[in-house]
Structure 1
C-alpha cells in the first residue's frame, strides 16, 4: 500500500529526495512523502491477536490534536540527532477502513466489514482495550486494532464523511449530553468553523435548540446554509472582549478554552454551563500575536462563576453510546460537517497545508487511499 508519512531526510539517499515534499507548519519545515507499506503478517491463531482485527485504511483525516503530534515529530527529525530516530512518522486519528483479518475471539466483525474508530472515554468498551483515541497513525494504512476500539457503519455514510466522523461525533454528543441542554434554552457555540463546533451545531439544531454561533471569519451565504437555523455573530480577531449586546446563554460550547473562557462566563445566565473540549496553544509554536488579548484571569472567572452559580466543565471525547447516538442521527440531508477537499496520496503536501495553514478553509480535508 502507498501510505503518506513525515520522512526523515537523514535516512534517505539524495536520489530519493525528489519524492519528498516540503510544507511549513507553524514555522517548522516538514518533509513528507509517500512510502510503501506491505500488508503485515496477522496470525489469527496467536493468542495476542485473539481480540484484534487487521484494518486496511480506506481514507483518513487529521484533527487539531494531530497538529501537535506532527509538529513534535518534525522537530525531532529536524534536530540533526539521528540517535533513536525513526526514518518515517505516521499521523492521523480519524479513519474509515475495511476489516481484512480477525482474531479467533472476535465476535463483533466479519472480514469485509467497514469500520471507524470508537474512542470511548473514560472507559473502553471492554477490559481488553485501553480507553481513548484509537490511533495516532491512521496514515500508516494498515492498523492492528482491538475490536472494542471499532464500530461498524453501513453504506448510508460515504467514506469521506466516515473518515472524519468518530472524534467529532463522539465528542459533540458527549458535550450536549453532559450539559443537559433542552428545548427552550439558548446555546452559544464558539469558533464555529472548527469541525468539533460544526458537529455540536448540527446536534443542537436537530434537537431544536435556539443556537447562536460565533466566528472571527466571514461566512458566505452557502456556508451559512449548512447551519441553517442558527444565529450568526461575527467578531473581530483583534477584539479584546466580546460586544455586550450579544446577550446571555444557558450553555456555551467552546473548543478552545484558552481563547474564550474569560469572556464566556460573562455571557452565561444564572445556573449557566460552560463546556470545553480543548485548547488552541497546545505547542509554543501555535501562539499568534493576537493571543495576548485572550489571557484568562482565574480570579475574575471564579468570582463570576460563584456569583452566578455557573458550572465550568471539561470534556474528553465521549462514550460508546455517544458515538452510537451520533451515528444514529446522521443523515445525508443534514451532514454534521462539510468536506472541503478529498486528495490522493500524491498530494500529501497539499493535504497538510489545507488542513492546518488555510485559515479560510471550511470543512474537513480527507486523504483517500
Structure 2
C-alpha cells in the first residue's frame, strides 16, 4: 500500500515521502481500516518539526496522519463493536498514528460509527475538534448552569465546542469577527463579542470556565475574565505539571513540564484558578457521544477548504502551515 512517511524531524519542516509499505496486520483488539479520507491539521506540521516529541516520542520512519474516516476491512478476533463494511472515523491512537495511508490498523476503542448523513470527507473533519471539545469540558468538570468563554470561537473548534457546551447546559460566550455572529448564535452562543468593536476583557467577568484557542498573547486577559477558583483549559499554551501528571508521564517529564508551564500556573494562582493544557487523545466512546448529540435535523457542522490526493500531501501540509483556510484540508484516499 502507499503511505506518507516522515523519515526525520526538522525544525524548519521537511517533506514526507510516499512509500510502498506492507498492509498492517491488525492485532486482536484492532480493526484494519481502509482509509477513505484523512484531514491535515497544524498538529501534523508540529510533529514534523519535532515540537511534540517530549509528549509523544515517535520512532522513525513514521507513517503520518492523525484524523480519518474509512471502512472496516477486517476485525481482530477480540473486536465486538465493528464488522467488515462498517463506516468508521476517529483520531488515531497517540502512540500509533498513520492516517496518511491506504490502510491502518486501529484499536477498536479509538473508533466510532460515522453518522449516515456525513460523507467520508466530511467525517474526516470531525474527530479532533469533537474530542478536543469533549475532553476540555471533562477537564473543567463543568456543570449545567455554569458559563464558559470560548476564545476565537468562530473557527472549526468553536463550531463543535459551542453546540457541545450548549448540550451540557452551559451558558456560552465567544468572540470573533462580526460577520460570523449570526452563525455562531445559531450554534448556541448566548453572548457574542465583535473583537473589532470591543475587547472581551472589558465586557466579561466572573466566567466559570475559559477554553483558550489563542495562546500566550491572550492568556493574561482570559485569566482576567475568569472567576476566582475558575478553570482555564488551553489548546495553545505550554504543557505544565498538571498535564504531565494527568498523562502519566515520568518524574523527569513532570518536572520538565512543571517548569515549562510555571508562568501560566503563577497567573492562575493569583485568583486560586487552575490552568490546564490539552493534547487530545483517541476516544471512540466520546466520539460516539458526539454523534448522538447531532442528527440529520441538527447535523454536525463540517467545513472543507481543499481536497488533495495522497501524492499531494506536501502541498496540503504547506497549505495548512500558511493558515487562513476556510475549512479543513482533506486527503482523499479511496473511492
User: Same fold by TM (over 0.5)?
Assistant: yes
Question: Which structure 1 residue ranges, 5 or more long, are not aligned?
Answer: 9-25, 43-47, 74-83, 120-131, 282-294
Taking the aligned partners of 1:71 and 1:315, their CA distance within structure 2 comes to: 19
1:245-260 aligned within 5 A: 245-255=203-213, 257-260=215-218
Cα contact 1:261–1:296 (8 A) shared by 2: no
C-alpha displacement of 1:227: 5.1
2:312 match:
347
Taking the aligned partners of 1:298 and 1:144, their CA distance within structure 2 comes to: 39
Taking the aligned partners of 2:33 and 2:68, their CA distance within structure 1 comes to: 10
Offset from partner CA, 1:133-167 (integer Å, 9 cap, x none): 36432102221233233233342332123213223
Cα contact 2:125–2:303 (8 A) shared by 1: no
Taking the aligned partners of 2:276 and 2:32, their CA distance within structure 1 comes to: 37
Does 1:233 pair with 2:193? yes
Does 1:28 pair with 2:12? yes
Does 1:175 pair with 2:136? yes
Does 1:72 pair with 2:50? yes
Max Rg structure: 1
1:330 match:
294
Taking the aligned partners of 1:263 and 1:173, their CA distance within structure 2 comes to: 24
Does 1:368 pair with 2:332? yes
Cα contact 1:91–1:138 (8 A) shared by 2: yes
Taking the aligned partners of 2:3 and 2:275, their CA distance within structure 1 comes to: 42
Cα contact 1:117–1:134 (8 A) shared by 2: no
Moved over 6 A (4+): none
Cα contact 2:125–2:304 (8 A) shared by 1: no
Change (3 A) 1:296 1:363: farther
User: Cα RMSD over matched residues?
Assistant: 3.8
2:40 to 62, 70, 74: 62
Change (3 A) 1:163 1:107: same
1:267 match:
225
1:357 to 310, 322, 325: 322
Provide the aligned length of Structure 1 versus Structure 2. 301
Q: TM-score, normalised by structure 2?
A: 0.72
Cα contact 1:66–1:136 (8 A) shared by 2: no
Helix, strand or coil at the partner of 1:213? strand
1:286 match:
none
Change (3 A) 1:154 1:192: closer
Change (3 A) 1:243 1:275: closer
Taking the aligned partners of 1:343 and 1:93, their CA distance within structure 2 comes to: 16
Helix, strand or coil at the partner of 2:134? helix
Does 1:301 pair with 2:229? no
Cα contact 2:152–2:175 (8 A) shared by 1: yes
1:220 match:
179
Change (3 A) 1:171 1:299: closer
Taking the aligned partners of 1:296 and 1:193, their CA distance within structure 2 comes to: 28
Helix, strand or coil at the partner of 1:350? helix
Does 1:145 pair with 2:129? no
Change (3 A) 1:227 1:343: farther
Taking the aligned partners of 1:164 and 1:194, their CA distance within structure 2 comes to: 13
Change (3 A) 1:245 1:351: same
Offset from partner CA, 1:162-186 (integer Å, 9 cap, x none): 2132232223123224435455443
Cα contact 1:266–1:304 (8 A) shared by 2: no
C-alpha displacement of 1:328: 0.9
Taking the aligned partners of 1:242 and 1:193, their CA distance within structure 2 comes to: 14
Change (3 A) 1:205 1:354: farther
